[in-house]
Structure 1
Amino acid sequence: MSEHAQAQPRDDHVVLGKLTSPYGVKGWLKVYSYTSPMDGILEYDDWVLRLGGRLVCHPLVQGRRQGKGLVAQLKGVDSREAAETLAGAEILLPKARLPELSGNDYYWYQLEGLTVTTREGVVLGRIDHLFETGANDVMVVKGNADTTVDDRERLLPFLPDDVILSVDLDAGVMTVDWDPEF
């Protein structure tokens, strides 16, 4: 997976990160990015912010790495007080603005919610979310005893051609090579 994005708040947006707190006195904000690489979020200039259930457009004026993190200046935010009102906002992007991926690359939001079945047809559960480790991405698959083999939560490595045999986004199914007892 070359780009990451967290679960979408609406069907037409994906969450790229969040604004955490003001930085300085001129309206800059600290940014926590969900993209990989971290500063990939700065490639998008038409940020939509979700705060308190409402969506507000705040185009990115400029952004940069600052220490181990990122900071950004948004249009119309020119004081620390204005920045404080945006602290905690999620940074959204319309899905249509995401770059096309090729081959077996997927955005995380595309995988979340897929039904995971073994090659033998045993339903393990649905992908709840994914997370990064040093070696590979990991899928959290949650079972439901009413519709799956059991109600266990499983951690499956995202390893195409090894664990992941096929992904059918249209059907909402991922087929894996995985022992249900593991």
Structure 2
Amino acid sequence: MSERDSGSSGRAGAASRAKASGQTSFGAFVRKPVERTEDKAKALAANAGSEAAEMRTETAASWPADVIEVGAIVDAYGLKGWVKVAAHAGAGRGGDALLSAKRWWLLKDGERRSVPALQAKTHSDSVVAHLGGVADRDVALALRGFRVYVSRDEFPALEADEFYWVDLIGMDVVNLAGLNLGRVASMIDNGAQSVLRIEYPATDKSGKPVAGERMIPFVGVYVKTVDQAAKQIVVDWEADY
């Protein structure tokens, strides 16, 4: 199995895959960068002049419930209206959600917009994109600071043994004996592998309730099953580790 995720959903891990039988590290967005076919690119370009290709003002009511924060616009790119995006999960990993999505949802200081992504590609350690309704550098510069969200439905499809970080957060974690070890609060990339950060109810020395914390490497030697339907992860891990 391997896992992936994004945006507020977490920072990307290594780009390799882990199997239940080994200790290979898992990555947050462990997928080859999406490549748009020539036909798809032409179809997107053909829509550039349509109403669907323009930027729209959105409200909290029109904001999709399933959007995930995947990056932020940090600068203009070139002179023709392209923007530069710092992807939270790294270009080619978290960045592939930006590359594949047809529409980006933008938020800054309560201002909400949505815009079609006409073209997007990796550039060095970032993602650059041409957005509908953004025709020149001045308009692109005005978008600096907007956080970029993508609908979870538009994330690239995964293999059966791969997971996005965002789908792991909130899952209950139990060990092989059935003992509940807590709930996944976040994911961490330590450079070598991804790690489950698990919180559970505990008390301090004075008896005051606090949140205890466990760190379990998300590798096959410890992670035995991930049941997304039941929102449960089974691990080979003892409570006193």
TM-score, structure 1 as length reference: 0.80
* TM-aligned CA distance change 1:107 to 1:10, over 3 Å: farther
Structure that is richer in helix per residue: 2
* TM-aligned CA distance change 1:130 to 1:28, over 3 Å: same
Q: What is the CA distance between 1:154 and its match in structure 2?
A: 2.0
What one-letter code is carried by the residue in structure 2 that aligns with 1:115?
Answer: D
Query: In structure 1, what is the equivalent of residue 229 of structure 2?
Result: 170
Q: Is 2:195 aligned against 1:141?
A: no
Percent identical pairs in the alignment equals 28
* TM-aligned CA distance change 1:67 to 1:96, over 3 Å: closer
| Bigger Cα Rg | 2
Is the CA contact (8 Å cut-off) linking 1:4 and 1:36 kept in structure 2? no
Give unmatched runs, 5+ long, in structure 1: none
What one-letter code is carried by the residue in structure 2 that aligns with 1:135?
Answer: A
Per-residue CA distance 1:125-157 (angstroms, 9 max, x = gap): 2111213343321111122228xxx83222211
* TM-aligned CA distance change 1:64 to 1:106, over 3 Å: closer
Question: Which residue of the other structure, out of 103, 114, 125, is the alignment partner of 1:68?
Answer: 125
Matches within 5 A, 1:80-99: 80-99=137-156
Matches within 5 A, 1:43-82: 43-82=100-139
User: Which deviates more, 105-114 or 17-26?
Assistant: 17-26
Is the CA contact (8 Å cut-off) linking 2:8 and 2:70 kept in structure 1? no
In the aligned structure 2, how far is the partner of 1:36 from the partner of 1:26? 22
- The SS at the match of 1:78 is coil
Is the CA contact (8 Å cut-off) linking 1:3 and 1:35 kept in structure 2? no
In the aligned structure 2, how far is the partner of 1:64 from the partner of 1:43? 10
Q: Is 2:84 aligned against 1:30?
A: yes
User: Which deviates more, 75-84 or 166-175?
Assistant: 75-84
In the aligned structure 2, how far is the partner of 1:176 from the partner of 1:151? 20
Is the CA contact (8 Å cut-off) linking 2:75 and 2:84 kept in structure 1? yes
TM-score, structure 2 as length reference: 0.63
Paired residues, what number?
Answer: 178
Q: After TM superposition, where is structure 1 displaced by more than 6 Å over at least 4 residues in a row?
A: none
Is the CA contact (8 Å cut-off) linking 1:61 and 1:74 kept in structure 2? yes
In the aligned structure 1, how far is the partner of 2:186 from the partner of 2:76? 29
In the aligned structure 2, how far is the partner of 1:96 from the partner of 1:110? 12
Tell me the C-alpha RMSD between the 2 structures.
Answer: 2.7
Is the CA contact (8 Å cut-off) linking 1:3 and 1:36 kept in structure 2? no
In the aligned structure 2, how far is the partner of 1:121 from the partner of 1:29? 49
